[in-house]
Amino acid sequence: MTPDAPSAPLAGRVAVVTGASRGMGRAIALRLARDGADCVVVYRRDHARAGVVVAEIERLGRRALALAIELGEPDEVPPGFARIAETFGRVDVFVANAAATAFRPTLEQKPHNVRRTLAISLESFVAAIQAVVPLMRGRPGRIVAVSGIDSQQAMRGHGVLGAAKAGLESLVRTLAMELGPLGITVNGVNPGLVETDSSQMYVERGLEREYAATVARVAAATPVRRAGSGEDVAGLVAYLASDAASFLTGQTIVIDGGLTIVSPLELLNAIPGPGAPDA
């Protein structure tokens, strides 16, 4: 697709993606840019990697801005969006993707880690919505929140983050109701295992397992027989951001290759051990 092809579904739109310096957020920003959007790459501290993403977006013929916002400090959100307003004058798509936590058992969580996890995923999300909605007024707007399967399933080290993600999914429903009359849809995406820096850190430090072998075992138990990629999730976000999704709001869509629709009894077949059919 040429840079300004009129058929690009997001041509002329402005997208803001948090946590876009790497991982899923980077894939989402690049996909939205390929679909025609100018992009704001929000990151925390990895200026070099954010700069690389900006350069990749500019090579696609779009405008891009790297913007450092510490989402653990919600007071940084309004000035960040003021900068976006100065640069682009509007926002059409907002993707709340960034998250961080200490992958520790709940009993070992330090108060500052609990506060920080909730501040990034909930408090800064609300602050960002309050800042971004005035920049969407008068045009169809799209808000997409990246949740996680920890919102529904108990996962070691994910107690606080899972609670934050469950709260995020609740906000998706309420915001969809509140913002629908303004022409803004609000949806969530809920990925399964996606290969990124943070999934590797969780497997190695949180579960104390070897990463490649763990990904291979999860893939073997997944109906489509692979782990996810950032591009898988980006494709769904691009659809939710498009005009085609104007009647879809308030939903959080699980994208996990089918892993969570499989009964735990079926999963036993994917894990060798006593009682397995071929044991």
Ligand X SMILES: NC(=O)c1ccc[n+]([C@@H]2O[C@H](COP(=O)([O-])OP(=O)(O)OC[C@H]3O[C@@H](n4cnc5c(N)ncnc54)[C@H](OP(=O)(O)O)[C@@H]3O)[C@@H](O)[C@H]2O)c1
Contact in structure between 77 and 71 (CB atoms under 8 Å)? yes
CB under 6 A: which stretch of 1-9, 78-86, 95-103, 267-275 binds ligand X?
95-103
Q: What residue has token string 């690389």?
A: 52
CA distance to 25, 47, 210, 229, 245, per residue, from 235 (Å) = 12, 26, 29, 10, 13
| Spatial separation of the C-alpha atoms in residues 12 and 213, rounded to whole Å | 43
Residue among 194, 218, 234, 237 that touches ligand X (CB under 6 A): 194
11-50 footprint of ligand X as x/- string (CB under 6 A): -------xxxxxxxx-----------------xxxx--x-
120, 99, 101: which is closest to 206 by C-alpha?
Answer: 101
98, 116, 106: which is closest to 158 by C-alpha?
Answer: 106
Which CB, 14 or 66, lies closer to ligand X?
Answer: 66
What is the side-by-side order of every strand in the sheet holding 14-18? 64-68, 38-43, 14-18, 93-96, 141-146, 184-191, 252-255
Contact in structure between 101 and 161 (CB atoms under 8 Å)? yes
Lookup: tokens for 35: 């679909």
Which CB, 5 or 261, lies closer to ligand X?
Answer: 261
207, 196, 222: which is closest to 97 by C-alpha?
Answer: 196
Residue among 2, 86, 107, 197 that touches ligand X (CB under 6 A): 197
Residue among 71, 127, 172, 238 that touches ligand X (CB under 6 A): 71
Which CB, 152 or 269, lies closer to ligand X?
Answer: 152
Could you tell me which residues come within 8 angstroms of residue 152 by beta carbon, excluding any fewer than 6 positions away? Answer: 166, 190, 260
Nearest-CB residue for ligand X = 23
CB under 6 A: which stretch of 68-76, 106-114, 203-211, 269-277 binds ligand X?
68-76
Residue among 10, 37, 57, 193 that touches ligand X (CB under 6 A): 193
Helices (H) and strands (E) in the chain, counts: 10, 7
* Minimum CB distance to ligand X, residue 217 (Å): 15
* N-term to C-term CA, the chain: 52
Residue among 98, 203, 218, 254 that touches ligand X (CB under 6 A): 98
Which CB, 8 or 96, lies closer to ligand X?
Answer: 96
* Minimum CB distance to ligand X, residue 191 (Å): 4
Residue among 17, 30, 33, 120 that touches ligand X (CB under 6 A): 120
Q: How many CB atoms are located within 10 Å of the residue 2 CB?
A: 9
* Minimum CB distance to ligand X, residue 118 (Å): 12
Which 199-258 residues touch ligand X, going by CB under 6 A? 199
* Minimum CB distance to ligand X, residue 219 (Å): 13
Which 122-181 residues touch ligand X, going by CB under 6 A? 146, 148-149
Give the footprint of ligand X on this chain (CB under 6 A). 18-25, 43-46, 49, 69-72, 97-100, 120, 146, 148-149, 191, 193-194, 196-199
